[in-house]
Amino acid sequence: MFSLELFLNALVIGILLGGFYAALSIGLSISFGLLDIVNIAHPAFIILGAFVCFMFNSAFGFDPILVGVAFTPIFFILGNLIYRIYYTSFEKTGATALRGLAFFFGVMFILEVALSMFFGVDYQMVRAPYIDYKLEFGVVDIPFRMFVPFLVALIMTLGLQYFSSKTFFGRAMQAVAQDSFALRLMAIDPAKIKRIAFGISLATCSVAGALFAIIMPIEPSIGRLYIGQVFAIVVLGGLGSQNGTLIAAMLLGLVESIITTFFGPSWAPAVAFSALILVLAFKPTGILGRAGDTRG
């Protein structure tokens, strides 16, 4: 049944959810969108970040977001290491992207099993003082459980967008995506830039993991459910466009929230994937995609 009150609440939750989705997919928009590395294990790394937060939160009561931010350097280094392996075994030898894909698929399962061996397969939750509060504006509720992650996600997404469009290194990242051969002619090593960029992409997983753990209970293989969302968002947004990623994330969040409210949560997973299939079939360059993008 349709009611304005439900609709308004669905809109608000949708926007908050969209921000959260942007945080989940912004890292992938760098690795998949700019660097052409199909990191299908991206959500699994986010869950790794979530469990790191859970560990410090349950043991010492640290705030999950602080833990997430504090761990970004570690994830950055992890990303560096993984890119080194990826580079020497696939990119350097000119192997197909498909082998790289299979590599990350394997990494995803290794991560999942490792997490479930350490933490068990039960759902776990983090605690923070603000989680149970909510703001009320008339008929519309804004739960802090979603609002705080939304703010952090927005700061991170906009920050990264500023970084990649305004700073020297960010522009170098874009340059790698556009023409890494030209870069090599200018005596710049594309592999080095890609290594750092992939590190940044994984560093976002640490923060996104913290947000994930705040919004919902986590278990080791829950990341699988979000592979669709993140890839749908990155493709929908147009590969490598951080603006597009934010817009696509908001759109997807809104549609999912409205579907959940009016048709039930069991239909929500199909939204992202149906959108993805349709976009891939009919407009593979996405909403804000670069014209003439011939990759893939």
Partner 1 sequence: MNSTRFYFVVLVLVGVSYLTTVFIDNQYPFFAGFAILQLIIMALAWNILGGYGGYVNFGSAAFFGLGAYGAIVAYQLFGASLPIQILVGGLFSALVGLGTGYLTLRLRGVYFAIATLALLVVAETLIHNWDYVGGAAGAYLLPKRNLDFWGVLIVGKVGGLFGNNKELLFFLMCILALLTIVICRAIEKSKLGRGLAALRDNEEAAESMGVPTLKLKLIATTLSAAIMGVTGGIFPYYMTFIEPTSAFSLDISVNALAMPLIGGTFTWLGPVLGAVILGTLQQIATVTISSEINLLIVGLFLVSFVIFAPEGFLGLIKKYSKRRD
List contacts with partner 1 (CB under 8 A).
Answer: 38, 85, 89, 95-103, 105-110, 112-114, 116-117, 224, 227-228, 231-232, 235, 266-267, 269-270, 272-274, 276-277, 280-281, 284, 296
Per DSSP, what are the bridge partners of residue 218?
Answer: 124
> In terms of CB distance, is 38 or 156 closer to partner 1?
38
Distance in Å, CB of 113 to partner 1, minimum? 4
> In terms of CB distance, is 69 or 80 closer to partner 1?
80
> In terms of CB distance, is 121 or 182 closer to partner 1?
121
Distance in Å, CB of 276 to partner 1, minimum? 5
Distance in Å, CB of 67 to partner 1, minimum? 26
Residue 202 amino acid letter: L
Distance in Å, CB of 274 to partner 1, minimum? 6
> In terms of CB distance, is 147 or 221 closer to partner 1?
221
> In terms of CB distance, is 148 or 279 closer to partner 1?
279
Distance in Å, CB of 256 to partner 1, minimum? 12
